[in-house]
Structure 1
C-alpha cells in the first residue's frame, strides 16, 4: 500500500523494477550461500525453480531473503525478485506467475486488493475471510500465517510525554485534547490524514476532534524523529518499525481495535501450493519464530544500523538454527 512506500530501501537491488512495460526481469540467484540446518533437503523441492518476490520496503526485503534462504536450504532453485516497486505491482507479479512466493499482510489483501472498507477486528476471522476471498476470487492461497506479527498503524509518543500526560492508550487522547490542548499535536503522513482508516476514523472512534492547525503532515520516515524530538506529541507509526525501539517511543494501545489487522502470511498461487505443499512445511516453522519484536529488531538493523538486508536475514536464520553457513555441519 502507499502508506508503506515511504519505508523504501533505496540501496537495495533493483531486480524488481519494471522492464520496458513488459513485466519483471527474471530475477537473480540467492545473494548469499547457505547450507541446511533444521531445514533439511526436501526431495519434492529438489531443483524446483521458485521465485521469491517482495515489496519495496525494508521489512518485506528482509522477509524475502528469509524465505529464499529457507527454500534454498530445502533444495529448491531459488530466484530473487525482491524490491518490486509498489504493493499492487508485487501482487500482480504473484497473480501473473512472475513470482511464486510473496509475504503478505491480511489487511492489505482485504482492503487494498479486494476493495473492502470495513476491517474485521478479530485477527483469525480476518485471516479466514481473506484466505477464502483470495482463493475464490483470485486463485491465491495463504499459508504459514502468524498472528504474532501485526504490522498495522499506531500512534506513538515519547516515554516522557506519556508519563507526564498519563497516556497509555488511544482512548486517553480525548482527555489530552480537552484538558491539555497545547499538547494535542499530531504528526501524520498525507495519506493517513484523509483516509477513513486514518485520522478521520481515529477521531470518530475515539471521540475527539484535533485542531487542524496542530496536525502536521510529514513523510512517513520523518515522523519518528519528529515525535522523538517533541515536534509533535503523537506520531503515526507502523508497529514493527525498528525506529520505535531505537528512539524508545511508546506505542499507544488501540484499545477499541480501530486499526485493521495486518497479520503476516505467505501467499502463493493456489495451483503452486497444491503442486508443492512442502513449501508450507519449510516456511511455517520460520513464520512461527516471527513476531513484532523480532521484526522490529531486524528492521532496525537495516534502517538504523545500516546493515544489508540479506546479511540481516541470513544471520537471523543461522541464529535460529534453520540454516548453517557453508562448510559447517548442521547440529
Structure 2
C-alpha cells in the first residue's frame, strides 16, 4: 500500500514538473510568433482532480491539450465533454501552440490527449511521406509514432490545408490550381501560420512539388480571422487557410485545386498516451470520431468563429445531441 501511494505521488510530481517545462516551451514559441502570455497557465481549466479515479481503475486525470487555433480548441472541448460524460476525470490545457510544441508535451507526459490531423501528423513524423489516401496516410502516421503514443479511430471529418486566394485575384491571374501560380508567384506575398514556412508541405513543398516560389512570406496566426483579413485587404495575395473555415464561403474566397496532392488527407483522430487508454476512454473517443463529419464540424466553426460562441458551449451541445 505504501509503494502504491508513493507511485501515485511520484506520478503527480512528474506531471506537474513536465507541465511547467511545457509551459515555458510554449511561452517561448508563442512569444516568437507574436503571441503574448502563457496559454498553459491562463487557459487551463480543471474539470477533475489531479489524481482522480473517474474510470474506476485508479487512473490519473486525462489531460487534454489543443493546438493554437479555434477548431482544435473546439475538438479538445468535445473530447473533454464526451470523456467527462463517460465518468473519466479530465482537465484541459488549451492553446498550447503548434505541433512542434504539443508533441513534446505528449512525449514528456504533460498532456495525454490531443485532436490530431492524420496528414499533418504523418508529414511531421516523416517528411518523405508519399501516401495521400485516408487509409494510407493513417498507416504512415501509425508506423512512425513515438513509443508510448497511439491513434484511436479516425473520423470521416476532414479539415485540410489549402491555398486560398480572393475571387478577384483568381479571375485576374486566371487561377484555378496551385500549378497556375508557377510563373506568377514571384510577384506575390504568401500568408500562413509561422510553421507553414518551414514544414515540408508548406513553402518548401510548394517549391518542390509545383515549382511555386512566392516573393515573400508573411507569418499569420493559424486559423484566425487575421489571415482572412490580410487576404481580403490585399496585405497577402494567397494564404494557407483550413478548408472548414466559414470565412472561405462568407468572403467568396477560392480554394486552389491541389492536383499533385501536396496536402494529404487530414482526417481528425485522437492522438493519446497509451498510459491513459482504457475501455471507457477508448469507447468515448471512438463515439466522437463516429459522430464527427466535415459538415457538422464546419457548422460548429460558424458558431465559434462567425457567431462568437464559446467553444466549450458548442462542444457541449454537440455531445448532448450526438452522443446521448
| Match 1:65 to one of 77, 84, 103 | 77
1:17 aligns with 2:18: no
> Relative to structure 1, is the Cα distance of residues 11 and 75 closer, same or farther in structure 2, using a 3 angstrom cutoff?
farther
- Name the counterpart of 2:228: 224
1:128 aligns with 2:131: no
1:186 aligns with 2:189: yes
> Relative to structure 1, is the Cα distance of residues 111 and 299 closer, same or farther in structure 2, using a 3 angstrom cutoff?
same
Q: Distance in 2 between matches of 1:133 and 1:149?
A: 21
TM-score by length of 1: 0.70
Alignment deviations for residues 263-322 of structure 1 (CA, whole Å, 9 cap, x no partner): 32112222432xx1342322223213324443333334333332211112112223x332
Which structure's relative contact order is higher, taking Cα pairs within 8 Å and 6+ residues apart? 1
- Name the counterpart of 1:173: 181
1:117 aligns with 2:127: yes
| Match 1:157 to one of 165, 181, 202 | 165
1:50 aligns with 2:62: yes
Q: SS where residue 80 of structure 1 aligns?
A: strand
Measure how far apart 1:202 and its partner are: 1.2
- Structure 1's unaligned 5+ residue stretches are 19-23, 31-42, 324-331
Q: Distance in 2 between matches of 1:75 and 1:295?
A: 25
Alignment deviations for residues 235-284 of structure 1 (CA, whole Å, 9 cap, x no partner): 222333343243232211211101344332112222432xx134232222
> Relative to structure 1, is the Cα distance of residues 28 and 271 closer, same or farther in structure 2, using a 3 angstrom cutoff?
closer
> Relative to structure 1, is the Cα distance of residues 253 and 5 closer, same or farther in structure 2, using a 3 angstrom cutoff?
farther
Q: Distance in 1 between matches of 2:105 and 2:246?
A: 28
Q: Distance in 2 between matches of 1:231 and 1:314?
A: 37
- Structure 2's unaligned 5+ residue stretches are 1-25, 49-53
Q: Distance in 1 between matches of 2:106 and 2:213?
A: 41
Q: SS where residue 117 of structure 1 aligns?
A: coil
Q: Distance in 1 between matches of 2:283 and 2:91?
A: 19
Q: SS where residue 63 of structure 2 aligns?
A: strand
Q: Distance in 2 between matches of 1:82 and 1:279?
A: 19
> Relative to structure 1, is the Cα distance of residues 97 and 185 closer, same or farther in structure 2, using a 3 angstrom cutoff?
closer
Q: Distance in 2 between matches of 1:247 and 1:259?
A: 23
- Name the counterpart of 1:139: 148
Alignment of 1:267-306 (within 5 A): 267-273=271-277, 276-306=278-308
> Relative to structure 1, is the Cα distance of residues 93 and 234 closer, same or farther in structure 2, using a 3 angstrom cutoff?
closer
Matched positions, count: 284
> Relative to structure 1, is the Cα distance of residues 75 and 196 closer, same or farther in structure 2, using a 3 angstrom cutoff?
closer
Is the 1:150–1:262 contact (alpha carbons within 8 Å) kept by the matching residues of 2? yes
- Name the counterpart of 1:326: none
Q: Distance in 2 between matches of 1:85 and 1:218?
A: 14
Q: Distance in 2 between matches of 1:308 and 1:73?
A: 19
Measure how far apart 1:108 and its partner are: 4.2
Is the 1:187–1:216 contact (alpha carbons within 8 Å) kept by the matching residues of 2? yes
Alignment deviations for residues 117-174 of structure 1 (CA, whole Å, 9 cap, x no partner): 212332321211211322xx4221110212531333x211223443555433222334
Is the 1:119–1:261 contact (alpha carbons within 8 Å) kept by the matching residues of 2? no
Is the 2:231–2:238 contact (alpha carbons within 8 Å) kept by the matching residues of 1? yes
> Relative to structure 1, is the Cα distance of residues 232 and 198 closer, same or farther in structure 2, using a 3 angstrom cutoff?
same
- Name the counterpart of 1:313: 315
